Structure 1
Amino acid sequence: MKLAKLSNKLVVSAITLAVAIPALAAMAKLDNAKSNVAIVFKQMNVPVDAKFKKFSANIDYNAAKPETSKANVEIELASFDLGDPEYNKEVLKKEWFNAAQFPKASFVATTMKASGPGKLDVNGTLTIKGKSSNVSFPLNVKQDGKNQIFDGSLPIKRLAFNIGEGEWKDTGMIADEVVIKFHVVTTQ
């Protein structure tokens, strides 16, 4: 009887390991050197590119069952780079990102659905400056050796997140639409 119980415990342990190991292997590690998050907006109708130098991404992507995939991205707002130290300081102020009170922006995926080979429709919650909004966007996914590459863009309205308060609400100077572009590379 004791041998049967021990045998059952070994079988249960083996099954648990068989299930747990692939789950652990699926969690990918962000390759910071190859990844980037940038934005494009228009100032006086001229496109301006900027980037965030620091962000993290936890992605658990299952190509066979994308609906079970999960993603969480956090961006450090103080890492925003417009290419000029004075402009960089300005956008961290209360009227813009208010980085002292809201140091990070985040995105949490709520659903991912296949929409074609290498394509997903992603829904989730974007939070910037304490304001959250449900967003949707297409995502391209490709395998490159041991790397997964996720490319996409998400247009948002900056005023919906109170980015540009006071005199900066005027969309004649800075357009309301901002496009967040990302290229995220993960390794297993």
Structure 2
Amino acid sequence: MTRFAASALALALFATPALAEPVAYAFDKSHSNLSFTYDHLGYSTTDGRFGNWDATLLVDADKPEASSIEFTIDTTSLDTFFADRDTHLKGADFFDVTKFPQATFKSTKVTKTGDNTLDIIGDLTIKGITKPATLAVTVTTMGEHPMAKMPAIGFAGTTTIKRSDFGMNMFVPYVGDEVTITLHAETLAAAK
């Protein structure tokens, strides 16, 4: 009886599927965009983007809370489609890109909030100042990419921060303190 029980236990252990590791995904930057908007005097919304950034994405489809993302953003790549404004935003009054050429975001917690939605909580660092931020994410598509024939994930995420929290107070409250950051991403499973 003891031998039967031991054999049954061994069989059960070997029959249990191994825990899957998170899968690394690479961003297709030709189909991804990191942008921001803010209110200008109540008259208009000003748009901008960062043209150069890198990110590391690990996805555990079965256990989303084990997923993670890290961003490094080249603040010198800021573009609001108006050269004089870009020069001012890159200067000491705002991003001070000479001293702080990078901003970063590193996730600390991922929470599934719905069938295709997640909250990604993390640390956002701009101008050497780190504050918590929550990226609300909607997964738009997950499956085999029809052209690349490999696993792919498309998603959109948004967060709103106060620029004054990062030492960029100029013109508040006339020019909006709240800045909405939006990420649209197409990612492909990274080659092993």
TM-score range, shorter chain: 0.7 to 0.9
Match of 1:59 in 2: 57
CA RMSD, 1 decimal: 2.0
Structure 2 unaligned regions, length at least 5: 1-17, 145-150
- Could you tell me how far 1:144 is from its partner in structure 2? 4.7
Counterpart residue number, 1:183: 184
How does 1:139-154 map onto structure 2 within 5 Å? 139-141=137-139, 142-145=141-144, 146-154=151-159
Structure 1 residue runs of 4 or more that deviate by more than 4 Å after TM superposition: none
Give the CA deviation at 1:23.
4.0
- Equivalent residue number for residue 35 of structure 1: 32
Report the equivalent of 1:44: 41
- Taking the aligned partners of 1:185 and 1:128, their CA distance within structure 2 comes to 25
Provide the residue aligned with 2:97 in structure 1: 99
Q: CA deviation at 1:169?
A: 4.3
Gaps of 5+ in 1: 1-18
Task: Report 1:26-175 matches (<5 A).
Answer: 26-45=23-42, 46-141=44-139, 142-145=141-144, 146-164=151-169, 168-172=170-174, 174-175=175-176
% same residue: 26
Deviation of the 1:53 alpha carbon: 0.6
Q: How far off is 1:137 after superposition?
A: 3.2
Alpha carbons 1:159, 1:169 under 8 Å: kept: no
TM-score (norm 1): 0.82
Between Structure 1 and Structure 2, which shows a larger proportion of helix residues? 1
**Number of residue pairs matched by the alignment:** 166
1:156/1:179 contact within 8 Å kept: yes
SS in 1 for 2:65: helix
